[in-house]
Amino acid sequence: MDMWRIAALGALALSLFWRPAGADETVLRYGQIPSTMRSVSALHLFVAEREGLFAQQGLRVERVPIAGGTDKMVAALAAGTVDVAQSATPYLITAVMAGSDAVAIAGENANPVYSLIAKPEIKDFADLKGRLVGLSLAVDTISISTRKLMALHGLGPGDIRVKELVGTPARFDCLKSGECDAVPLGQPEDFIAIDAGYRRLGVSSDAVAAFKFQILATRRPWAEAHEDTVVRFVRALAASFRFIRDPAHRDEVAGIVVAATGASDAIARRVLALYLDPDRGVLPRAAEIDLKGLAQVIAFMGEAGVLKAPLPAPEQFVDLRYLHNAGID
């Protein structure tokens, strides 16, 4: 084969995975929980934007805040407000069981680490008896994993008082105001709280080893009608997660965390070390959906009485064709 033909084939292959910014650009509306728009849980989006990974796929992703938290995301899809949306897995599962045509097409944060942060005077779990703990909604995996953490240390449902607060910022505000005695916080707020003198009693991963926390959802008919767009979007997300995980990019990723969240460089590096040194499975390798982790969420919902036996199979809530077509197993 002559060199010109090799070069032509190489250019064709490259064109399948790279598109110059502005060339046939497709707008994709991405529904996002307002409390995550400047949090580490959106790191893969910041990286994809900063590194031009969406643009390389011919996409312009418009992030649309959906008021009310993650429980509103599937409704936003149904209303046509957004094309795709992040959703905590319990809310997608609940919606599908009620007849929604929503479906998971890729994975986002997998097994998050939530720190149970308490007032400085609360020295251990026993000191929480009779106290007010700010949790998310009862069906949320944040609440489920935090309750399991407390149960691991001898605290049952009747041992604490609960206030439902959606989003790490709302829970942190409750703690800082003095109303809440303890709350689960994500990153970087937990490190900020610790540096301010609050006490970390434990982390959710102590009680729950692995589950699928958050997925990317859309409506089945929309995805089928826009398969090429979905595949390109998933491919960009996969590239973003690979970038974050590459040790050679640690300094750059830490800088993106600082720019996105306002955290210090030291805290940004502590967050990345928490996730990746060693790898705790917080982030997917390449936007994949862990069906075993999804099955664990379903089991948790069964334990909580949210789902009745027989429990549904995780395959009911996903369509893996877009990951497969993007070259992701």
All structural domains of the chain, each given as residue ranges with its CATH number in brackets, are: 15-111+211-325 (3.40.190.10), 118-206 (3.40.190.10)
Tokens at residue 210, please? Answer: 């692995």
Residue 282 vs residue 21, higher pLDDT: 282
* Average of per-residue pLDDT values in the chain: 90
Buried b / exposed e over 144-175, threshold 16 CB at 10 Å, is bbbbebbeeeebeeebbeeeebbbbbbbbebb
pLDDT bracket for residue 153 (50, 70, 90): very high
- Determine the Cα–Cα distance for residues 286 and 241; give it in Å rounded to an integer: 5
Q: What is the DSSP string of 75-106?
A: HHHHHTS-SEEEEEHHHHHHHHHTT--EEEEE
In this structure, are residues 176 and 117 in contact, taking their beta carbons and an 8 Å threshold? no
With residue 247 as reference, give the H or E element that holds it.
Answer: none
What value does the mean pLDDT take over residues 160-182?
A: 95
Beta pairing class for 59-65 and 26-32? parallel
CA-based torsion, 33, 39, 43, 49: positive or negative: positive
Residue type, 102: A
Q: Are strands 132-135 and 161-164 parallel, antiparallel or unpaired?
A: parallel
Give percent of the chain with pLDDT exceeding 90: 76
Q: Which residues contact 325 (CB under 8 A, 6 or more apart)?
A: 227, 231
pLDDT at 67: 87
Q: What is the mean pLDDT of residues 102-119?
A: 94
- Residue 168: the pLDDT is 86
Whether residue 61 has pLDDT greater than 90: yes
Cβ atoms of 124 and 226 closer than 8 Å: no
- For the entire predicted model, the pTM comes to 0.85
Q: Which two tokens stand for residue 11?
A: 């250019």
